[in-house]
A and B are shown apart, each in its own frame.
Chain A
């Protein structure tokens, strides 16, 4: 069953196109990864689908969620979708939390808005959620500044999955973490995704994040899709030179020691 079908999505600021004619589909429970460098339009695509674009950006095309075009939804309808059916995890975990509210308070507000539960039930649910992402239940009473980056991002994940959404949009969720914490968080996300059966729209600049976990891969460059397909085909037989460059630059660990011995074609795509 196609959960999300994006058709000919174009996003412009003034006359300049940021996203050009992007189309793809996500099935129920599928993990779709969009890979691209900064400026490729990958984050703008995710924002467009989530109706979170800045006011000076205009989106055209269709985004059919369960058959309905959410690009046409009003603010109220969109609010109902968000937090229940579609959840977000952002790169900026610091900014996702109000500094003077405890972690627990964030859960409280969210649960009060979406569920009818008693205070004890809410607390239980929040603590369970924290444990499910590998955190101690005591984190409930801590403030954001007392948690490390990885712990905060895990809390964001816990919040995002609280309502068992059908689709999670994760926009570079590990970019601000060190590699080790990043991979741990990724592993966590993958486990949770398997458990809850949600679909994942995962935006990243690092191909290594998708080697293990993605089902489908899309590569974006300068606003357009340059490669699209299931993970195995893209990794085994990349069609576009850009994809091939990305793959050379992100080898598996076993191949890493040979990384720098490669042929010395000067890198066309790098800075």
Chain B
């Protein structure tokens, strides 16, 4: 049974203007699947559908065999702790009026009583927050600061710490490094890779940066105008049987 399975997903915002067409793919545990495409190709909409922030017109989204699509908020709620995300904009991902610890511990405060974690000690909030900060290589002093006192890279590390705080099965990374400078991008990608290994996480990594995708993912899907036009293992990026669009991307980036 796949961790995440999408079958024949279709979605339009307006009749006649499809945003997602015939989306089929699956993701296994401990895997990182990358989705690359231009802005407007539908990858962000796909992320929102997988996170159950939006519904589908047709098709299904199965999480560990259970259909999650088009369910009510109440029915989805028990699954939410398994489906986390890190978003593109570090500044708007954290409430500027709240201290870091309050944003970081939000998932734990919501679900903490029900979970048992294997990699983190969660006897108390204090304990867990320290461990999370350590996991993302930040000093625990930052817990009592406000977001505006942290750099972009630090804020994004906090978002990552928040996403992994309950050891979710799947983390949807929606352009997590696109707003950061080149050096910080690399350090964040390294962190993500390391965490995936250490915490048995699975990633759906969405980006317009083929380089980042190639660095982090094992399997790659190429999206164009709402459809998946190519799919391959990372080592086959330069193979000659690639879709012309993929080849175009490769020639642009290389």
B182 & A253 in contact (Cβ 8 Å cutoff): no
Point out the residues of chain B lying under 8 angstroms from A250, CB to CB.
Answer: 182, 211
A37 & B234 in contact (Cβ 8 Å cutoff): no
Point out the residues of chain B lying under 8 angstroms from A270, CB to CB.
Answer: 153, 181, 183-184, 186-187
CA distance A184 to B140 in the complex (A): 43
Point out the residues of chain B lying under 8 angstroms from A254, CB to CB.
Answer: 238, 254
Asked if A271 lies at the interface with its beta carbon under 8 angstroms from chain B, I say: yes
Using known A-B contacts A267-B187, A269-B183, A271-B152, determine if residue A257 contacts B215 with beta carbons closer than 8 Å.
Answer: yes
A179 & B182 in contact (Cβ 8 Å cutoff): no
Which residues of B, 110-152, contact A by the 8 Å Cβ criterion? Answer: 137, 151-152
Point out the residues of chain A lying under 8 angstroms from B76, CB to CB.
Answer: none
Question: Which residue of the partner chain A has the closest CB to B250?
Answer: A253
Point out the residues of chain A lying under 8 angstroms from B39, CB to CB.
Answer: 148-149, 177-178, 181
The size class of the interface chain B forms with chain A is 35 or more
Instruction: Pick from B180, B184, B215, B250: contact of A259, CB below 8 A.
Output: B215
CA distance A177 to B209 in the complex (A): 11
The size class of the interface chain A forms with chain B is 35 or more
B215 & A271 in contact (Cβ 8 Å cutoff): no
**4 closest Cβ pairs, A-B complex:** A271-B153, A178-B208, A183-B252, A271-B151
Q: A179-B208, A260-B190 are in contact. List 9 more A-B contacts (CB 8 A).
A: A37-B183, A180-B38, A180-B249, A246-B183, A249-B186, A253-B253, A256-B210, A259-B186, A267-B186
Contact sample, A vs B, 29 pairs, CB 8 Å cutoff = A37-B181, A38-B181, A148-B39, A178-B178, A179-B253, A180-B37, A180-B38, A183-B252, A205-B182, A207-B182, A208-B211, A246-B182, A249-B183, A249-B185, A253-B250, A254-B238, A254-B254, A256-B210, A256-B212, A257-B214, A257-B215, A259-B215, A264-B190, A266-B137, A267-B184, A267-B186, A270-B181, A270-B183, A271-B184
